[in-house]
Amino acid sequence: MENALEQYDPQIYELVRQEIARESASIRLIPSENYVSRAVMMASGSCLTNKYAEGYPNKRYYEGQQVTDLIERLAQDRAKQLFKADHANVQPYSGSVANLAAYTALIEPGDTIMGLSLPHGGHLTHGWKVSITSKLFKSVQYTVNPDTGRLDYNRIEEAAKKHRPKIIISGATAYPREIDFEIFGRIAKDVGAYHVSDIAHIAGLVVAGIHKSPVPYADIVSTTTHKTLRGPRGGMLLCKAEHAEKVDRAVFPGLQGGPHMHTLTAIAVAMAEADTPEFIAYAKQIVKNAKALAEKLLEYGFDLVSGGTDNHLILIDLRNKNIPGKKLAKALDRARIVSNYNTTPADPLHPANPSGLRIGTPAITTRGMKEPEVKLIARFINRVAENIDNESVIEEIGKEALLLCSHFPVPDHFIIPNKKNSL
């Protein structure tokens, strides 16, 4: 049967085909990217995209919800089981919406929130000045220690006592070390604040038991459902039972209308996939790969923020190489190695052309690459940096990267036998 997209819109079909080829022929090192399973992709593209389901199971504003109610309950139950949480809301369209919903569930506009500064590894929605979160709420920021690149919990506690925020946000988007959520919970309790934890990047490591879970120590846990969790592009909130009603009201009708049922269906599939021994092995390999990549980059003389990594990502400070982050990211892209330029703590350069480069291992690990391959990738990165203005060398590295990719095809699907999750 002729492909319907090819028949109806050959231009978009060709662009999609090109993207498939690009993702297959590139070493994808952006920490927030991954490859979903065929099952997740099928759910994302299913007939559930046709259905409006405004409201919650048994409390909808449209009829015809016999199936959607079952799907949403399944997604909720699987998420609660996976994260050991009292309540799960799987409707947020994204992690950013989930964060805003968490804040509005707990405090009022004009109240103070305290999160990690964006240049020090925080997210825009942790109260950074260009985000709506800093306009709705008074925002104060804590930072990492510029000498160590690590969180200084004593300084965070001092800042909390000084500013007395109503919410303290733990979590990051460019922090390569494990976060002590228990300390954050204690600090928040001591100053009478709520603790909201954003685990968008490390959710897959949390469910695999590699990173300590914030669920016991946070009032609300926010996450995306992709990245290390390897699901569709969506968001999710987990919370204690006492906050369940407020969280649900904050998402709908507070910030959203009808949930995207096709995404919600794919989230249910991803939760089942994550509740398997195979996923735990995958998550462990993510960290092994990141550590091996970091060690090799250090051997090549790269300066890594905090000196290494405990999770899935690495933040490189390129000032000792005298190469702007954007320039290296563009050169690597021409060599089929995809990364993103990023600010570093106390970065003297503008965020549009910062000193750092952020890389991670979730996507290459999904393809089956292990320590030998990541050491080769580190060699590619070093060669590009050493030949940053030599296009012939960059082209040659691109050919070698393509050859490496050919040995690790993008998985068409993931076989998950004997699922223990029967919900």
Catalytic positions, please? 52, 54, 198, 224, 227, 233
> Rounded to an integer, what is the distance from CA 325 to the centroid of its chain?
21
Find the helix packing angle between 325-334 and 391-406, rounded to 10°: 60
Which two structure tokens, joined as six digits, stand for 109? 């506009």
**Per DSSP, what are the bridge partners of residue 87?**
239
- Which residues are paired to 144 by β-bridges? 151
**Count of Cβ atoms closer than 10 Å to residue 58 Cβ:** 8
Going by their DSSP bridges, the two strands 220-224 and 235-239 should be labelled as antiparallel
Cα gap 49→270, rounded to integer Å: 17
Burial of residue 287 (CB within 10 Å: 0-12, 13-18, 19+) is: buried
Which amino acid, residue 196?
V
How many whole angstroms separate alpha carbon 123 and alpha carbon 143? 12
Q: Tell me which residue of 239, 243, 205 sits closest to 222, measured CA to CA.
A: 239
